[in-house]
Amino acid sequence: MTALRYIAPITLVVLAACVLPAKVTPLPSGAQDFVEYCAACHGVGGTGNGEIASTLSKRPADLTGLAKRNGGQFPTTRVMAKIWGYTGGKGGSTIMPNFGPLLDSETVPYDGGDGIMTPTPIRLAQIAEHLMTLQKP
């Protein structure tokens, strides 16, 4: 009878672990990912004045004028490709790190501006959306 007294609670704990949903860690927002991965170089406001910008061999891009430099349209697909690491600088050299592995996440259908809903890592789409909010007229 004593052994049964210990087995019953253990069995309940094991069963509860099988039934209870696992704790899901919320995804950071695009703004949070920008601060974590981009702000050191590009600055919190995206102007290229991050805390380590002056130590780099090439000044980080001012991200607040991306739409203006693209005829008023934010170049979403091109920006996401650059962040993810699909594109390099001229001759394949760039200071911009490849953030793809860091931003790997569940994909969502996302239109990067070409009218085609493409499976896109949600964290990548969120950073692009955040960058849109930083655009100056």
Could you give the domains of the chain?
25-133 (1.10.760)
Cβ-proximal residues to 50 (8 Å cutoff; 6+ apart), any chain: 38, 39, 40, 41, 42, 43, 44, 60
Q: Give the H or E element holding residue 111.
A: strand 107-111
- pLDDT attached to residue 11: 52
Instruction: Tell me the C-alpha distance between 99 and 103, whole Å.
Output: 6
Nearest C-alpha neighbor of 80 from the set 43, 48, 118, 29: 118
Question: According to the model, what pLDDT value does residue 95 have?
Answer: 76
What's the pLDDT tens digit per position in 83-123? 988 765 555 556 788 888 888 889 999 999 989 999 999 99
What was the pLDDT predicted at 9?
52
